[in-house]
């Protein structure tokens, strides 16, 4: 199994906008890519940092 963890740092103050788009992307990937077991967005303690996990 292959797992990917990607940390993304947004520009200050743009976290909420990024999160909205990223959640839509994650839902689409989970619904339409049958080989993908997990595609999840997680929020770090820093309000401008996010982590994608894919398996």
Cβ–Cβ under 8 Å, residues 38 and 55: yes
User: Could you list the pLDDT tens digit for every one of the 55 residues in the chain?
Assistant: 899 999 999 999 999 999 999 999 999 999 999 999 999 999 999 989 999 999 9
pTM of the model: 0.82
**Residue 1 pLDDT:** 82
Question: What HEC string does the chain produce?
Answer: CCCEEEEEECCCCCHHHHHHHHHHHHHHHHHHCCCCCCEEEEECCCCCEEEEEEC
- CATH number for the region 4-54 comes to 3.30.70.100
What's the CA gap between 12 and 40, in Å, rounded?
22
**Residue 53 pLDDT:** 96
What's the CA gap between 27 and 39, in Å, rounded?
8
């Amino acid at each position: 199994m292959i797992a990917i963890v990607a940390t993304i740092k947004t520009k200050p103050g743009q976290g909420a906008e990024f999160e909205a788009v990223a959640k839509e992307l994650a839902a689409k990937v989970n619904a339409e890519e049958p080989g993908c077991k997990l595609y999840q967005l997680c929020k770090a303690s820093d309000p401008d940092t996010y982590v994608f996990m894919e398996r």
